[in-house]
Structures are given as C-alpha cells and as structure tokens.
Amino acid sequence: MENLQGALIGRLKNVRFERVKQWRAVSSDPERDDNKERRDEHFASLDKYNLTAGIPARYRRWRLWDFKPDTASDAVAFLERGGAATLFLHGVVGTGKTCLASATLSAWRWSGGACNLDCPGDCGIGKREVGLFLPAYEAAARLRNLDRCEAAMNEWAGARLLVLDDIGANRATPHVTEQLLFLLQRRYDECAKTIVTSNLDLSGIEGTLGERAASRLQEGMLIELTGGDKRAGKKKAGGA
C-alpha cells in the first residue's frame, strides 16, 4: 500500500509541475509565476480550503491508493492527459465506480488541476471551476425546471472537471436525455475533462443516450470495475 501510494503521489506531483509550466506560459507576470514561495503558498491554499466540489460525504475519504494498482494507475493516466479527456467507469451495482470517481476528482484537485490557466490571481479557489461532482438524479431534477435549465447547463459545462455519476440508472424524459447528451457534447467540444460513471456498458449507453454519446465515451479511457456488490457484502457481514 505504501509503495503504491508513494508512486501515485509522485505522478500527481508531476501533474502539478506540468500545470506550473502552463501557468508560466500564459502568465502576464512570469517572474511572479516563477516564484517558488508563491507556488508553495498556492498549493497550500488549495489544501487549506479543502473544497468538497459537491462530492457526497460518504465518498470524500476515498483515495486512489485504496484501489487495485492497475485501476489507480489508469485513473492517474487520465489526469496526466492534456487537453480533452473523458473517463468512462462502468460495472454492475456496488463495484466502486462512484468511489473511484470521487478519488480521481480529489487527486486532480490536489495535483493543482483546480487552477485556471489564467491564474495567478485567484486560481478559481472557491468557485465552480475547481471541479464538480454531479449525480445524474440531481442533474435530471434540475433539468426538468425549464426556467433554470440554461443556467444549470452553463454551470456544468464550465466546470474544469465534471463527474457525471450514475447515468442511465433512472428513466429520464426525452428532454433530460437530450440535455445530458448536449452537455457531453459541449464538454467534448470545449476540451474539458469529464468522468462518467454508469451501471451500463457502451451498448447500454447507446440505447439510453444514443450513438453519439456512446461514441464520445468510447473515444476516451474506459475502466470496467468487476466483482460483486460490495454494499451487499458489508450488509451481510454486519448481520452475521
């Protein structure tokens, strides 16, 4: 466990370093952005604020080293990718998809991915740009309100990293389905990082959201989580 944790943290530090290089490239004040003291202060402030990004309390404790080495390594590889990237986590109920998505979002925030490239003043601390965890049932509920649909879509489309959790779990109206497809398309076009979790595989996604959604997810990284329902196992053990 310690070796895995150390290796993953090392790779995440490299992600931080790449972000710093990007800040230097776009900063109007290179000397300020190249100041080590300022960078250290910046990263410390991210840890200090410890913003939840909407991650449910049940899942905030999860870290990448809580998973199998190959799975954790694939999640970090997704964070290491520049530009547009989509990570599709699928598997049967209870295999840990939401836990892994939450751990990946937490790792991305820790690695400095929460910052906007147009730093160095605010870096998005305290704003939605730092990343967002969005359960599909919450998205569906908000999208049914036609008066607020556009504002919600703009908020989700603008998140630096979006986790869209558990799509396809509940029957959605044609309007909600259309808007979720539009959201995935907007984020794809804007080269924004997106993590999608579902009990459905790609063929199931195609049947629910359509061929375009399945195509967009297939183009990114795919991780299938296997095994039995961990929730059911814990319940059984507790009652024994």
pTM of the model: 0.77
Mean pLDDT of the 42-55 span: 61
Q: Which residue range(s) make up the domain with 71?
A: 2-239
Write down the pLDDT at residue 235: 37
- 142 pLDDT exceeds 60? yes
Domain count for the chain:
1
> Which pLDDT tens digit goes with each residue over 183-197?
988 988 888 899 999
Read off the amino acid at residue 37: E
Write down the pLDDT at residue 192: 87
Read off the amino acid at residue 152: A
Q: Could you tell me the CATH number of the domain that includes residue 166?
A: 3.40.50.300
> Which pLDDT tens digit goes with each residue over 144-180?
888 888 888 988 988 888 999 999 877 778 888 888 8
Band (pLDDT 50/70/90 cuts) for residue 198 is very high
Highest mean pLDDT among 21-30, 96-105, 117-126: 96-105
> Which pLDDT tens digit goes with each residue over 57-104?
899 889 999 999 999 999 999 988 866 689 999 999 889 999 999 999
**Higher pLDDT among residues 135 and 130, named by residue:** 135
Show the tokens assigned to 203.
């063929």
